[in-house]
């Protein structure tokens, strides 16, 4: 700070000013990859009450025969019986299907779901052959969710962990308030995606709507197509080799790797000017803004 004069600050770009104030030390890992557990802590990843399921035991549920609560209770009942692969047929847009599953399970939903599908999950691998409504995967903690078609708005709201993948396009405010994990969108995403993002990574292979990453605290957004506009405090950053390697690995994993590779992706991170917990005095903040 002491080495930068007011005159120099005025001539700097927004991103340069932020860096000059020592407010951003961007790297691939960032906060998103802080190691929060040891590898040998595997036993902590299962809840003591989690049913012991066998993935080779497969069963089908016809959702037409249940309301949402009934279908979700049936899933739990079948897991207690040891079924590790459960197929839900005829979901017909029902809301909140498959929520709150806190252990390992292969859940296959053959059709489309409504709002809040597979939210609050911690561990299952979910595949949805249709479209999902608003807030799919909200607050998910771990596991994978793969959607074959499109998704509604607030996709992966407040997600904390795991991979949430949509092969099609998603609505607005994707990953709003996300606190970890990875969201991957094969197509486009709407306005205000990454709004108030705090951790984790979002990958959009297509275009992003206006105000991308608005008010994001941390985390990283990668966009393969065009960005209509960046939100407040969202800034572009250098796409490093580590980023490219990670993108290649992750997109290949879900068969979403673009033919053109990942070199063209734009990386967006938080400018961190909006942070209220830094050491800047109010007059210093004014200088930056």
Partner 1 sequence: MLRSLKHRGPDSTGFAVYGANTPGDYVMRFVLAEQEDMSKGFDMKKIVEERLELVEERLAEHGAEVKHRESATDYAKRFIIHHTGDTELMARHIEDIEGVEILSMGNSLELIKDLGDADVVSDQYGLGAFEGTHGIGHTRMATESDVDIRSAHPYWAFPYNDVSVVHNGQITNYWIMRRQLERQGHRFMSHCDSELLAVYTANNLANGVTLEDSMRRSIGEIDGVFTYLVATKDQLGMAKDTMAAKPLVLYQSDDLIVMASEEVAIRSILPQEIDTTDPYDEEVFVWQA
- What 3-state class would DSSP assign to 253? helix
Figure out which of the listed residues 17, 104, 131, 250 binds partner 1, where binding follows CB under 8 A. 131
- What 3-state class would DSSP assign to 262? coil
Interaction of residue 111 with partner 1, rule CB under 8 A = yes
Total interface residues for partner 1 by CB under 8 A: 29
21 or 116: CB nearest partner 1: 116
Interaction of residue 51 with partner 1, rule CB under 8 A = no
Min dist. Cβ of residue 112 to partner 1 (A): 6
CA distances to 112, 165, 256 from 172, rounded to whole Å, are 19, 15, 21
**Piece of 93-101, 159-167, 177-185, 255-263 that binds partner 1 (CB under 8 A):** 93-101
Interaction of residue 83 with partner 1, rule CB under 8 A = no
95 or 127: CB nearest partner 1: 95
Min dist. Cβ of residue 81 to partner 1 (A): 29
Min dist. Cβ of residue 185 to partner 1 (A): 13
Report 211-250 residues binding partner 1 (CB under 8 A).
none
Min dist. Cβ of residue 145 to partner 1 (A): 17
**Piece of 19-27, 81-89, 185-193, 251-259 that binds partner 1 (CB under 8 A):** 185-193
Buried b (16+ CB within 10 A) or exposed e, 146-175: bbbbbbbbbbbbbbbbbbbbbbbbbbbbbb
- Side by side, the strands of the sheet bearing 179-185 are 54-62, 83-89, 106-110, 122-128, 142-147, 163-166, 179-185, 199-204, 220-223, 266-270, 234-237
Consecutive H or E run containing 282: helix 282-288
Alpha-carbon gap, residue 215 to 238, rounded angstroms = 20
Provide the token pair at 236: 């572009």
User: Among positive and negative, which fits the CA dihedral 206, 178, 25, 212?
Assistant: positive
Figure out which of the listed residues 103, 113, 139, 273 binds partner 1, where binding follows CB under 8 A. 113
Interaction of residue 271 with partner 1, rule CB under 8 A = no
Per the CB < 8 A criterion, the answer to whether 213 and 183 are in contact is: no
What does the binding site for partner 1 look like in residue numbers (CB under 8 A)?
90, 92-95, 111-115, 130-131, 133-134, 149-153, 169-173, 190-192, 209-210
């Amino acid at each position: 700070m002491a080495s930068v004069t007011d005159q120099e600050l005025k001539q700097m770009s927004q991103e340069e000013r932020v860096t000059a104030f020592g407010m951003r030390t961007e790297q691939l890992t960032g906060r998103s990859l802080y190691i929060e557990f040891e590898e040998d802590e595997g036993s902590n990843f299962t809840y003591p009450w989690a049913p012991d399921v066998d993935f080779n035991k497969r069963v089908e549920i016809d959702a037409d025969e249940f309301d949402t609560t009934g279908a979700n209770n049936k899933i739990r009942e079948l897991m207690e019986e040891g079924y590790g692969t459960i197929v839900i047929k005829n979901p017909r847009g029902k809301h909140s299907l498959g929520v709150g599953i806190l252990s390992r399970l292969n859940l296959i939903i053959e059709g489309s779901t409504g709002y809040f599908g597979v939210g609050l999950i911690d561990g299952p691998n979910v595949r949805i052959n249709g479209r999902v409504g608003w807030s799919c995967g909200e607050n998910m903690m771990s596991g994978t969710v793969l959607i074959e078609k499109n998704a509604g708005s607030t996709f992966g709201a407040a997600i904390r962990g795991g991979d949430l993948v949509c092969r099609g396009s998603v609505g607005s405010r994707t990953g709003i308030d996300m606190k970890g994990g990875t969201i991957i969108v094969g197509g486009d995403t709407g306005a205000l995606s990454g709004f108030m993002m705090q951790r984790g990574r979002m990958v959009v292979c297509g275009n992003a709507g206006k105000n991308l990453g608005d008010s994001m605290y941390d985390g990283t957004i990668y966009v393969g197509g065009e960005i209509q506009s960046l939100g407040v405090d969202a800034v572009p950053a250098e796409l490093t080799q580590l980023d490219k390697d990670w993108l290649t690995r992750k997109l290949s994993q879900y068969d979403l790797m673009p033919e053109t590779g990942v070199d063209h992706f734009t990386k967006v991170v938080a400018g961190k000017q909006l942070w209220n917990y830094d050491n800047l005095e109010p007059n210093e903040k004014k200088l930056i803004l």
